Amino acid sequence: MAPTNTNANKQPQQELSLGTMTSTQKVAALLILLGPTTASEVLKNISDEDLLEQITLEIASLNKVPSDILSDILEEFKALFQASTYLSSGGMNYAKQLLELTYGESQAEKMLNKLVTLMNSNPFQFFNEADPGQLATSFQNENPQLIALIMAYLKPEHSAKVLNFLPPETQAQVAMKIADMDTTNPEILTDIEKIVETKFSSVMVQDFSKAGGIDTLANILNRADRNTEKNVIELLEVENPPLAEEVRELMFVFEDIINLDDRAIQRILREVDTKDLALSLKGTKQDLRDKIFRNMSDRAQEMLKDEIEYLGPVRAKEVQEVQTKIIGIIRNLEVFGEITISRDNNEDELID
């Protein structure tokens, strides 16, 4: 019998060239070149799941990329970063002028067009470099809906700082608008961004699919100072109690217990029934369980471990319900000043 030719049915691989490679392939090639450690850090910061999947597939499917093409890819990304720096520091005309001097008129136009396309997928990002206090002052006469739209797309920690500087009544209005926000037409957002960029150019240093919602608001409030958080929640309780409760629930999740100090955990354990605690720990990570166990006596530990084992398989809904019950206990203890929940590493330290 003649030997089987295993390559007989394989299609010849298309020869790679810079002109035929897609943007995703170029990103994949760059990440391969950067190495696994750096590439993993880059991938962690890609929030678009579809894009992440595309890049991952390209990394897996790319075979050997010729060194001359890799060199061209590096030069292209370098040029884009350079263009981005020019654009953020001096605006479009400044960037165009410098890029034309460096790369020529035709290449400069291509680079700027590509960069504008990339930037338009992340609206209002130029505000992330603006001073929060100055930005809040510039917002003081604006419609809360517009402020909410901008803040929903910024980094939560930056939005929190801006929120801290807004007047109390505006804080609550903006918070409600963020929570109520839903999908917005990309074309409308593009027009708004152009207007906003021009209007607020004095405070600028330089995802149009969906932003805002209750998750975004909770994320922002988690990073805001306590006075701002308290003011917003209290006003939400008056205007929209169900919304206030939803935001509260998202601001401290059960897994956050691991960040509490031992004294707080010991105080919480005095209020929680052993059966509830056992059910709440089903399916949780071992480090969270260990944190709980370390704050119990040996006898209490054994009782809790026996209770967890005795429960056997349980429904996820039952676990979530009892975890929510315990979160309620934690919030009440915080309200009465019996425990302190640290939500921000930059928060002021306690003074004895």
Same domain as 299, residue 222 = no
Same domain as 264, residue 235 = no
Residue 161's CB is within 10 A of a number of other CB atoms, namely: 21
The parent domain of residue 142 ranges over 125-248
d(CA 200, CA 178): 20
Q: Say how many CA atoms lie within 13 Å of 319 toward its Cβ.
A: 16
Same domain as 224, residue 133 = yes
Q: Which two tokens stand for residue 103?
A: 């790369």
Same domain as 176, residue 94 = no
Cβ burial, residue 114 (10 Å; 0-12/13-18/19+): middle
d(CA 341, CA 159): 21
In a domain, 14, yes or no: no
d(CA 154, CA 20): 35
Q: What angle do CA 245, 249, 254 make, to 5 degrees?
A: 160
Q: What angle do CA 159, 162, 166 make, to 5 degrees?
A: 130
Torsion, Cα of 327, 332, 337, 343 (10° steps): 30
Counted residue by residue, the chain has a size of 352
The pLDDT score that the predictor gives to residue 156 is: 83
The H or E element containing residue 56 is helix 49-61
Q: Which two tokens stand for residue 169?
A: 């009544």
In a domain, 231, yes or no: yes
Same domain as 240, residue 134 = yes
**Three-state DSSP class for 208?**
coil
The pLDDT score that the predictor gives to residue 92 is: 64
The pLDDT score that the predictor gives to residue 352 is: 41
Residue 129's CB is within 10 A of a number of other CB atoms, namely: 12
Same domain as 264, residue 239 = no
In a domain, 297, yes or no: yes
In a domain, 345, yes or no: no
In a domain, 348, yes or no: no
d(CA 349, CA 342): 10
Terminal-to-terminal C-alpha distance of the chain = 87
Same domain as 214, residue 130 = yes
In a domain, 295, yes or no: yes
Q: What is the CATH number of the domain that holds 215?
A: 1.10.220.30
Residue 294's CB is within 10 A of a number of other CB atoms, namely: 11
Q: Which residues of 180-203 are buried (b: 16+ CB within 10 A; e: fewer)?
A: ebeebeeeebeebbeebbeebeeb
In a domain, 346, yes or no: no
Give the global pTM. Answer: 0.38
End position of a domain, from candidates 248, 267, 298:
248
Same domain as 199, residue 129 = yes
Same domain as 110, residue 159 = no
For the chain, how many structural domains are there in total? 3
Same domain as 229, residue 137 = yes
Same domain as 284, residue 268 = yes
By percentage, how much of the chain surpasses pLDDT 90?
13
The pLDDT score that the predictor gives to residue 8 is: 39
In a domain, 115, yes or no: yes
The pLDDT score that the predictor gives to residue 305 is: 92
Same domain as 110, residue 154 = no
The pLDDT score that the predictor gives to residue 350 is: 43
DSSP, residue by residue, 121-157:
TSTTGGGGGS-HHHHHHHHTTS-HHHHHHHHHHS-HH
Residues of the chain with pLDDT under 70: 1-18, 47-50, 61, 63-64, 83-92, 94-95, 112-123, 182-190, 200-212, 222-227, 342-352
